[in-house]
Amino acid sequence: MGRSYSKKTIKLLFGSASHCAYPECTEPLVFKDRGRLTVVAQIAHIRSEKPNGPRHEPDYDEALLNSFENLLLLCGKHHPPVDQHESTYSAEELEDWKAAQTAQTGRLLPASELPEIIAALEQVAHAQARRSALRSTWAAFSDAALPFLDHAQGATSREASHLTEQLVSDRRAFNSAMAAVLREGPQDMIERAIAVRDGCDALVRHANIYGPGWIAWRALDDARTHPRTESHSTFPAVWAQDRLVVIAKASSDGSRAPESVYSEAKSALHAVEGITSSHIRDLLEDVSRPESRRQAVDDLNAARERFNEALEQFETGAQEYLAGAP
């Protein structure tokens, strides 16, 4: 912030520059109209003072971080990309910009103008901090929402119990991120976040209903197509899958398969290496649903589409807000 820099440093910065350091940018840093100063300059660090900041150098002299040597003046348009895309703008390149900027003819700051300059820099720094906080909050929210896409189908689980643990962990992280959005605002972003939350809820409902079945089917498909040993027979898995399909067809037609088919499916599943008792339970429950497997896939795709649309609108709103923020 403005008060982090000495009056001497501020005088040197403005005394050596008349416009933004970005090459070919002619945006004035300070202009005076009707007796009032307007400061559009932002003080940028060549090397960040923060360990996780852009172009931070651990071995750089700490005493020089907020000194004239490590600072240059940029306009509000060019400061954000320089810090947000640090890999594109190296410290060496910014050193060249500074050398060119110090060759400009700046303006001497009368003692009467210095407090106004410092106050304006404080306002800019406050706005920058606000943007940075919002950017972090909204990025964390998006990151917290994304795992629900994978876990809706139990994609990273081998057992339903693990899926349940994942969903609980996902929800805890998401609730924390949601609370941060509610605290920070603004209202239109809160409304977009609520739409994302509704999308997450739909994915969770699908995961709770169909997730265990998806996990068990994957285990069975794996046992059928990738036997653990060359001598291991895949016949039980193939036979079990056939019996399960018969049960599913009868259930979706509104009837029930004969008990003999259920018994055959259970016996075959018990003989499949890698299939647990919970897999067997979840498979039989899944195929006994009145809705078809195709309907379950359609429901999941619809939930994913609503979620993706809500998240895209949230992220678009974040970009537009940050682009237009002072």
**DSSP sequence for 71-88:** EEEEETTTHHHHHHTTTT
Residue 59 or 5, more confident: 59
Structure tokens at 8: 């001497």
Band the pLDDT of 258: cuts 50, 70, 90.
very high
- Pair (295, 164) in one structural domain: yes
- Pair (28, 94) in one structural domain: yes
Q: Bridge partners of 41? A: 75
- Pair (203, 286) in one structural domain: yes
Non-local CB neighbours of 163 within 8 Å, separated by 6+ positions: 151, 154, 157, 207, 211, 212, 215
Q: Establish if 85 belongs to a structural domain.
A: yes
Band the pLDDT of 264: cuts 50, 70, 90.
very high
Residue ending a domain, among 109, 131, 158, is 109
- Pair (189, 234) in one structural domain: yes
- Pair (49, 157) in one structural domain: no
User: DSSP secondary structure string, 216-280?
Assistant: HHHHHHHHHHS-SSTTS--HHHHHHHHHHHHHHHHHHTTS---HHHHHHHHHHHHTSTT--HHHH
Supply the range of the domain harboring residue 247: 140-323
Average pLDDT over residues 69-86: 89
The average confidence (pLDDT) of the chain is 88
Q: Establish if 135 belongs to a structural domain.
A: no
Q: What are phi and psi of 80, to 5 degrees?
A: -55, -50
- The pLDDT tens digits for 179-195 are 999 999 899 999 999 99
Average pLDDT over residues 268-288: 93
Q: Given a cut of 90, is residue 274 above it in pLDDT?
A: no
Predicted local distance difference test score (pLDDT) of residue 3: 47
Side chain identity at residue 242, one-letter code: D
Dist CA 306 CA 303 (whole Å): 5
> What's the domain count of the chain?
2
Show the CA angle centred on residue 278, arms to residues 272 and 282, nearest 5°.
95
Predicted local distance difference test score (pLDDT) of residue 144: 97
Band the pLDDT of 2: cuts 50, 70, 90.
very low
Q: Establish if 290 belongs to a structural domain.
A: yes
Q: Establish if 120 belongs to a structural domain.
A: no
Q: Measure Cα distances from 171 to 138, 139, 147, 303 in Å.
A: 17, 17, 10, 17
Band the pLDDT of 1: cuts 50, 70, 90.
very low
Band the pLDDT of 306: cuts 50, 70, 90.
very high
**Element holding 41 (H helix, E strand):** strand 41-45
Q: Establish if 211 belongs to a structural domain.
A: yes
- Pair (98, 149) in one structural domain: no
- Pair (65, 174) in one structural domain: no
Residue 156 or 203, more confident: 203
- Per-residue H/E/C for 157-217: CCCHHHHHHHHHHHHHHHHHHHHHHHHHCCHHHHHHHHHHHHHHHHHHHHHHHHHHHHHHH
Non-local CB neighbours of 297 within 8 Å, separated by 6+ positions: none
- Pair (280, 151) in one structural domain: yes
Side chain identity at residue 206, one-letter code: H
- Pair (72, 211) in one structural domain: no
Q: Per mean pLDDT, which range of 35-44, 103-112, 141-150, 260-269 is the poorest? A: 103-112
Predicted local distance difference test score (pLDDT) of residue 263: 95
Q: Establish if 127 belongs to a structural domain.
A: no
Q: What are phi and psi of 288, to 5 degrees?
A: -90, 0
Q: Given a cut of 70, is residue 143 above it in pLDDT?
A: yes
Average pLDDT over residues 153-175: 92
- The pLDDT tens digits for 26-43 are 888 887 777 677 787 888
Dist CA 47 CA 51 (whole Å): 10
Residue 162: closest CA among 270, 302, 282: 282
- Pair (293, 222) in one structural domain: yes
- Pair (153, 297) in one structural domain: yes
Q: Given a cut of 90, is residue 213 above it in pLDDT?
A: yes
Predicted local distance difference test score (pLDDT) of residue 47: 94
Q: Establish if 118 belongs to a structural domain.
A: no
Q: Bridge partners of 74? A: 42
Q: Given a cut of 90, is residue 124 above it in pLDDT?
A: no
Share above pLDDT 90 across residues of the chain, in percent, rounded to a whole number: 54
- Pair (166, 27) in one structural domain: no
Burial (CB count within 10 angstroms: exposed 0-12, middle 13-18, buried 19+), residue 129:
exposed
Q: Establish if 38 belongs to a structural domain.
A: yes
